[in-house]
Every structure is written in structure tokens, then in C-alpha cells.
Amino acid sequence: MTSELLGRALVEEATKKSGLIWVRGTAGTQALWHVWHDGAVHLVGDGPGEQPLPGLADGGEARVTVRSKDKGGRLVAWSARVTELAPGSDAWRVAAGDLKTKRLNAPDGEAVTERWARECRLLRLDPVSVTTEFPAESQAAPPPPTPAVTRDAVPAGLPKLLLRRLGRRKK
């Protein structure tokens, strides 16, 4: 019982302090901004201009990993039960109010909650089980393929040119 209470306290404290959590649903893992309210994570998304919520469905499960705010490493992971809040309900209004204070650069300012009610989903992730032990491998996903390339190698004469310019300035 004591370890369960300590685990829940760690989940709450770490998740409150972290501005970003990693959530794995049925469609993969996504970094998401959130707010901790009433013993659970609340997320808004899946609408125009908002974060995607891939594979997170009402009644489903998700895996949440919280990073340490100072070092950025994995601190705690927990399983969650996903619940979609109905727009206009008391729980939805309270959670949307908290999320509104954390939402940066909303295009519609104070009317953001009205847009969320029309076009987005607001999810609640309730902790079910906690772990602080992680696999030895990093679990980092390989970067997706991209047409972007790194720049070419530095021309051979450039270091000499730069050194000559620095030498002239010192005189």
C-alpha cells in the first residue's frame, strides 16, 4: 500500500512539473502538452491548430512517460485509462479553463474554449499503474525519412581565409 501511494505521489508531482509528456496510444507515441487537474492528465487536441491525439480513444488505454524537468530523462511511466469529456459538462468546463491558461499563442485568444467545444476533443488520462524501472535501451524512435540533407563539407581554403581576416583585425 505504501509503495502504491508513493508511486501515485511521484506520478502527480512529476507530471505537474513537466510541461511535456510522452503518450503512447494505439497509433504510436506523441509528445503532448497537458495540464494536471483533479488527479489526472487533461489533453486537448485533434482539431485545427491543435496537437494530434493519435490512437487515444474513449475507454481505451495509454502509456504515459514523464521526463525529469531538470535533466530531461525518463522519471516515471504509468498506464492510464482514457476518458473523453463531453463538451459543456462541468468536468469539461473546469478542465478546459485550466488548459486555456497553459495554451500558448491561441489564434482566437479568449474564445479558444468555444472552438475546442466545437472542433476538438478533451481527454482525461487517469493513472492506473506506475513504474520507475525502465529498459536499458533508449526506446528512441529513428528519425523519419526526409529529403533534407546536411550542408556540404567546409571548403579547404575557408579556415585560412578566416584566420587571415582575424590576423588583420588584431593589428
pLDDT average, residue stretch 40-56: 91
Instruction: Walk me through the domains of the chain, giving residue ranges and CATH numbers.
Output: 2-138 (2.30.110.10)
Q: What's the pLDDT at 114?
A: 93
Output the furthest CA–CA distance in the chain (Å, rounded): 74
54 Cβ contact list (under 8 Å, min separation 6):
25, 27, 28, 30
Q: Where are the alpha helices (DSSP H) in the chain?
A: 2-17, 90-102, 112-119, 158-170
pLDDT average, residue stretch 5-12: 85
| Amino acid (1-letter code) at residue 29 | T
C-alpha 92/C-alpha 77 separation (Å) is 25
pLDDT tens per residue, range 117-168? 999 999 999 999 887 666 666 666 777 788 877 777 777 777 788 877 776 6
- Does residue 98 surpass a pLDDT of 90? yes
